[in-house]
A and B are shown apart, each in its own frame.
Chain A
């Protein structure tokens, strides 16, 4: 496992922020961590990095207890939490040079990382003078500088333009292909859907889902939308056959299907019974809808 927690709890005063969180982030996965504002995402991340103290020793990274091996774990972990951290009075290059003095990776690594995040042309610029997107890139550069095995990134795509988001997605995928475990929290669910292999959803300090992305997508119903010549006849026919059908007006219907065989079956029946089909559209339920549904279900 890349990261695991066992009944991780955290309280501030009498307020419970996290309640028995059991994270299982497989090694080599891209784990998307979702939750609404205030759900406990950032607290979890700070606990995973040892920035908040877990008194009960319930956090494990690469199988090692964080509490007992914090320095070793920091050596193999990179992070970007909420907003990028860097020294304003230092240039882009100097910020990485500072890390190089600690990690002893060499000037070559500085150049390599600058290329990876496309900041090479800005390397002599004071960090405080960078645009928001560039600052985010610098934050990512600082997170990956020491070639960590585990990356914990909280909102790493904040402030990036579409090109930047695309490049970062590619970067995360490349790092993942190199065997790195990436724990990623983002509000841009469409992006998370593109890169994540595993998903965890937290609501009010509790995990309400954890599994692969396919597991999550399998939780929801599939619908197919059709435009036909006679909606009423089609609805009657499909209802008789046991399908759940909805009239969307304008000769459009929506049919709930459970699997590919059902899809095949209802199409054949429509055609055999003389219904003409002009349009077929799969109503894909995306991560955003699933997320909203799950949150709604949890909150009753």
Chain B
């Protein structure tokens, strides 16, 4: 079982890693960090920073990057997850998938694991880019004051919680992508939920909507929160709930 699962995972990895969308999910958030770095460098060269500037990790790096992240990341995840399913819809490739000598269960979980791994790598790369940016900016422009604040714990928790948020979103998107063979539904749903989650972000029930997680990670970095909240526990539950929903949809897939 473990051997066939590893083989299936390797095969999924081989096949899906040829998708350009994967590199989008992995690299675009990292690229964004560097773009914000460029902006801060430009600003540092053209403006004089006030000596009283509060924590630059928050007001400079965190604010700009997470403003982009809460709008960008859910869409990237939706596109990536759809790409992972679309590869099977094209040429009706589910016929290949369902006639290889491997159970549907192993195929599904290897696909879900691959999606989770890619999101993990993407978040880890973004986290490292964020940390390194602050470190290099502290060396290049000590007057900004990055070196004056030890913000590592908050950054770690923010990215850690972002990972759970994105994993929950990915599982919801996986369910939709498995249910509908069309780009419109998963991407449309993701866009709608993104706007909806921003509108209702301050409501109490928004903790049960994983899409609010990216918006709240922006709040998280601004308010310097380093603890788990109800939203984060809800996201963990959502990961498993929608993993099961996706598994059910995958198992009952038929070739007509």
Contact with A along B15-40 (1 / 0, CB 8 A): 10011000000000000000000000
Q: Mark A176-207, 1 if CB is under 8 A from B, else 0.
A: 00000000000000000000000000000000
> Would you call A85 and B18 a contact (CB within 8 A)?
no
Bound CA–CA A83/B90 (angstroms)? 11
Chain A min CB distance to B119 (Å): 20
Contact of B18 among A52, A90, A104 (CB under 8 A): A90
Is A94's beta carbon under 8 Å from chain B?
Answer: yes
Q: Are B14 and A85 in contact (CB under 8 A)?
A: no
**Are the CB atoms of A83 and B92 closer together than 8 Å?**
yes
Of chain A, the residue at the smallest CB distance from B20 is A89
Chain A positions within 8 Å of B95 at CB level: 51, 79, 81, 85
Q: How large is the interface on B (under 10, 10 to 19, 20 to 34, 35 or more residues)?
A: 20 to 34
Task: Tell whether A88 is near chain B: CB-to-CB under 8 Å.
Answer: yes
For residue B111, give the distance in angstroms from its CB to the closest CB of chain A: 14
Closest 6 pairs (CB-CB, A-B): A75-B101, A51-B255, A101-B11, A74-B101, A85-B96, A89-B18
Q: Is B87 an interface residue (CB 8 A)?
A: yes
Candidates B11, B18, B254; contact of A51 at CB < 8 Å:
B254
Complex CA distance for A103 and B95, rounded to whole angstroms: 16
Q: 19 other contacts beyond A71-B103, A83-B91, A102-B11, with CB at 8 A cut-off?
A: A49-B99, A50-B98, A71-B101, A74-B99, A74-B101, A77-B99, A79-B99, A81-B255, A82-B92, A83-B92, A84-B91, A85-B92, A87-B90, A89-B19, A94-B18, A98-B14, A99-B100, A101-B10, A103-B101
A46 at the B interface (CB under 8 A): yes
Q: How near does chain A come to B221, taking the closest CB pair, in angstroms?
A: 36
- Considering only CB atoms, which chain B residue lies closest to A49 in the complex? B99
- Chain B residues, CB < 8 A from A88: 90-91
A291 within 8 A of B: no
Q: Complex: how many Å from CA A49 to CA B98?
A: 9
Residues of chain B with a CB closer than 8 A to A50's CB? 98-99
In this complex, which of B8, B90, B96 has the most chain A Cβ atoms within 10 angstroms of its Cβ?
B96
Q: Is the CB of A86 within 8 A of B100?
A: no
For the complex, give the distance between the alpha carbons of A94 and B254 in Å.
26
CB distance from B85 to the nearest CB of A (A): 13
- Contacts A51-B95, A98-B14, A101-B10 hold; do A87 and B102 have CB atoms under 8 A apart? no
How far does the alpha carbon of A50 sit from the alpha carbon of B101 in the complex, in Å?
12
Do B7 and A102 have beta carbons less than 8 Å apart?
yes
Which residues in B have their C-beta under 8 angstroms from that of A11?
Answer: none
**Interface CB pairs A-B, < 8 A, 19:** A51-B254, A52-B255, A53-B254, A71-B103, A72-B101, A77-B99, A81-B95, A83-B91, A86-B93, A87-B87, A87-B91, A89-B19, A90-B15, A94-B14, A94-B18, A97-B14, A102-B7, A102-B100, A102-B102
Q: Does A21 contact B (CB under 8 A)?
A: no
A74-B99, A75-B101, A101-B14 known; A52-B254 Cβ under 8 A = yes
Query: Within 8 Å of chain B (Cβ to Cβ): is A142?
Result: yes
How many A-B pairs have beta carbons closer than 8 Å: the answer is: 70
B87 near A98 with CB under 8 A, answer: no
A residues sitting closer than 8 Å to B (CB atoms) are: 46, 49-53, 71-72, 74-75, 77, 79, 81-90, 94, 97-99, 101-104, 142
Minimal Cβ-Cβ distance residue in B for A86: B91
With a CB–CB cut-off of 8 A, which chain A residues contact B101?
71-72, 74-75, 102-103
Is there contact, CB below 8 Å, between B19 and A102? no
Closest to B8 in A: A102
Q: Which residues of B contact A101 (CB under 8 A)?
A: 7, 10-11, 14
Q: Which residues of B contact A84 (CB under 8 A)?
A: 91
Question: Which residue of B is nearest A100, CB measured?
Answer: B11
Residues of B within 8 A of A82 (CB): 92
Q: Mark B228-256, 1 if CB is under 8 A from A, else 0.
A: 00000000000000000000000000110
Rounded to whole angstroms, the CA-CA distance of A101 and B13 in the bound complex is 10
B14 neighbours in A (Cβ, 8 Å): 94, 97-98, 101
Give the residue of A77, A89, A98 whose beta carbon is less than 8 angstroms from that of B11. Answer: A98
Bound form: Cα–Cα A98–B87 in Å? 13
A83 to B255, CA, bound (A): 13
Whether A98 contacts B254 by the Cβ 8 Å rule is no
Measured in the bound complex, the distance between the Cα atoms of B255 and A79 in whole Å is 14
- Which partner residue on chain B sits nearest A51 by CB separation? B255
Cross-chain contact A51 with B7 (CB below 8 angstroms): no
- A103→B91 CA distance, assembly (Å): 21
For B70-106 the 0/1 string (1 means CB < 8 A from A) is 0000000000000000010011110110111111000
